[in-house]
Structure 1
Amino acid sequence: MALFVLTYGYHDTPLRAERRDDHLAHLNKLYEQGSLVAAGPYTDLTEGMIVLRAEDEKAAQALVEQDPYTQLGVTKDRRLREWRVTVGALSAGS
């Protein structure tokens, strides 16, 4: 399994607050399934990051597309990239 990092910003929309519980439920489901490593906004709350575990980029993108925030257009400037960890608890050698 590979690791992927999704970074994104937020559109100025009331849907962000209104659908936050749905977004968090989706992330918690991914975590329970082993597909989510970590997720959360930056401290200034203008952007966020999600670390996913998936077979390939297509599978990681499918996880992103299931997120209510993605489906409702709450997030913007999404960038999904494979991440090769070389040192630390997430590295292949650990």
Structure 2
Amino acid sequence: MKHFAVLLPMKDEEKSKVHRAEHLQFLKEKEEEGYIFAKGRFVDGAGGLVIYKGENLEQVEEMVKKDPYVGLGARNYEIHEWEMNLS
């Protein structure tokens, strides 16, 4: 599996507040399915970052588009394949 960094910059702060529980449930499900390596919000309120695991960009983008934050217009998204370096 490859890793993909998904930036979720803030688009609509009010929608983000309203749909937070749905977004967190979505992430929990993806984590239980083995598709999430790490996740978290930016403390400055600019959005968040999710590191997905997947076979290819298309697979990950399909998942990201199902995130309520993205689908309901609370956040934009940007995906980059990420090469992890632990040294």
TM-score, length of structure 1 as denominator length: 0.85
Q: How far apart, in 1, do the equivalents of 2:69 and 2:14 lie?
A: 12
Superposition map of 1:35-74 within 5 A:
35-74=35-74
Aligned-CA RMSD value = 1.2
Cα distance between partner residues in 1 of 2:13 and 2:48: 16
Unmatched segments (≥5 aa) in structure 1: 89-94
Larger Rg: 1
Residue 85 of structure 2 is matched in structure 1 by 86
Gaps of 5+ in 2: none
Aligned to 2:8: 8
**TM-score scaled by length of structure 2:** 0.92
- The runs of 4+ residues in structure 1 deviating greater than 3 Å are none
Identical residues among aligned pairs (%):
25
Q: Within 2, Cα distance between the matches of 1:86 and 1:19?
A: 33
Matches of 1:24 and 1:75 in 2, distance apart?
A: 14
Worse overlay, 39-48 or 17-26: 39-48
